[in-house]
Amino acid sequence: MLARLFPQGDATLIAHELTQMGHPAPAQGLCGQSFAGKLMGVPQELAAALTVWLQHQETACWWYHAPGASAATADVLFGGSGNLLTALRQEADRIPLLQPVLAALDAARDIQEHGPTHVRLGEQALALGQRTYVMGILNVTPDSFSDGGLYLQPEQAIKHAEEMLADGADIIDVGGQSSRPGATPIPAEVEHQRVIPVIGEIVKRYGALVSVDTYRASIAEAALDAGAVLINDISAMRFDTQMAALIARREAAVVLMHMQGTPQTMQHAPAYRHVIDEVYSFLAARLDWAMQQGVTRQRIVLDPGFGFGKAVRHNLALLRGLEHFRALGQPLLVGTSRKTFLGRLLQREVWDRLEGTMASVIYATLRGAAIVRVHDVKPVVQTVRLVDSLEHSFP
């Protein structure tokens, strides 16, 4: 059983969640509540006991049920005043059956309230909640979906990195293996030859913050030796059993991304029962596992994985519900740049998706993205600076 908490007082997200669960949103009763949460995978007996308890509460509260992932479980969305949790804590002492509910809610509150205020990249600490950071994409590949072949030669790649840094990029993300749908894995030796010299030169020439887009521990280690400070792992450290130990030992930062399937299979009819629940549960589990392996919270970034095993409707649901993932307490990376779902919605080819990218970046920035990963650095930097000024600057 896992709990996820909702932003206080945000009836819009709760109403949308109700529609996802098959309930019409009530005209009133959801606003102004100081607590709302969803319990996922609740055993039926426990769900029934919780419902009975809620029915007998004198304080204003509400609750809704939906079938869980299995026939033996239910999902329960409930909320009310701050006194509701206090009453539940007291009742759990009397009714032991309710203890798992309290434990799940306490765990969710702990992870939300004790999230980092900075993300550490090497010796630098980037403050969270004050501005949005821009990660410039540098694909040194012949077959990436958008810019494959443009920066395959080292000097071309280094020149492009220089341009992105001049345009305001905070981080340069170097990738040597395409992860586009259907991409075939390349030998580690080829990936090494493509990315390591480029990373070394970017760090040497410009002193930039550099990440490496790889799921291989051997490439990650070589990149760290070359000066990289962040490992952008599309597998969330699942594809290489040595990755977590490496990152913990080297005190590197890591991006943990959700992906359904692999790059070879991820777009073969992706399906979800509830995409936000499933992506949230995955990221919560990987965050917990990473910390158990010795990776500190200040060095973990989470990525919902736009375009990685998602249909258009799934990408839209994740973008619309991005604020849900803030309950995990970690900085969020959003990578919608030039993605296929934008092209399908706007009927634009890959080279003509700037407007769609910009709209999705603005939307993500307003909903709490800490880092946006983009191809078109200059217009994005200008845009997020204005959005940040409107959101975080006060007269």
Domain that holds residue 74: 2-113
User: Cα separation of 77 and 355, whole Å?
Assistant: 36
Confidence at residue 29, expressed as pLDDT on a 0 to 100 scale? 65
User: Are 157 and 136 a contacting pair, CB within 8 Å?
Assistant: no
Cα(218)–Cα(221) distance, integer angstroms: 5
**What one-character DSSP code corresponds to residue 22?**
T
365 in Cβ contact with 387 (< 8 Å): yes
Q: For residues 221 and 363, state if they share a domain.
A: yes
Shared-domain flag, residues 101 and 176:
no
Same domain, 161 and 17: no
Give residues with Cβ within 8 angstroms of 301, minimum separation 6: 119, 230, 253, 254, 255, 256, 330, 331, 332, 333, 370, 371
Q: Are residues 141 and 102 in the same domain?
A: no
Judgement on whether residues 177 and 245 belong to the same structural domain of the protein: yes
pLDDT at 395: 46
| Contact between 279 and 309 (Cβ < 8 Å) | no
Q: Which residues have a catalytic role annotated?
A: 339, 373
pTM: 0.94
Question: For position 264, what pLDDT does the model report?
Answer: 82
Domain end, chosen from 59, 92, 113, is at 113
Please say whether the beta carbons of 211 and 255 come within 8 A: yes
Q: Are 297 and 115 in contact (CB under 8 A)?
A: yes
Amino acid at 167: D
- The number of distinct structural domains making up the chain is 2
102 and 152 fall within a common domain:
no
Kindly give, in sequence order, each residue whose CB lies less than 8 Å from that of residue 333, ignoring residues fewer than 6 positions away. 135, 255, 257, 301, 302, 303, 369, 370, 371, 372, 373
Q: Are residues 80 and 181 in the same domain?
A: no
Predicted confidence at residue 59, as pLDDT, reads: 74
Q: List the one residue out of 343, 362, 360 whose CA is nearest residue 352.
A: 343
Q: Which residues in the chain come in under a pLDDT of 50?
A: 395
CA-based torsion, 78, 300, 256, 305: positive or negative: positive
What pLDDT shows up at residue 11? 83
Q: If we measure between CA atoms, which residue out of 37, 23, 86 comes closest to residue 59?
A: 86
Q: Are residues 8 and 129 in the same domain?
A: no
- Predicted confidence at residue 393, as pLDDT, reads 65
Same domain, 279 and 379: yes
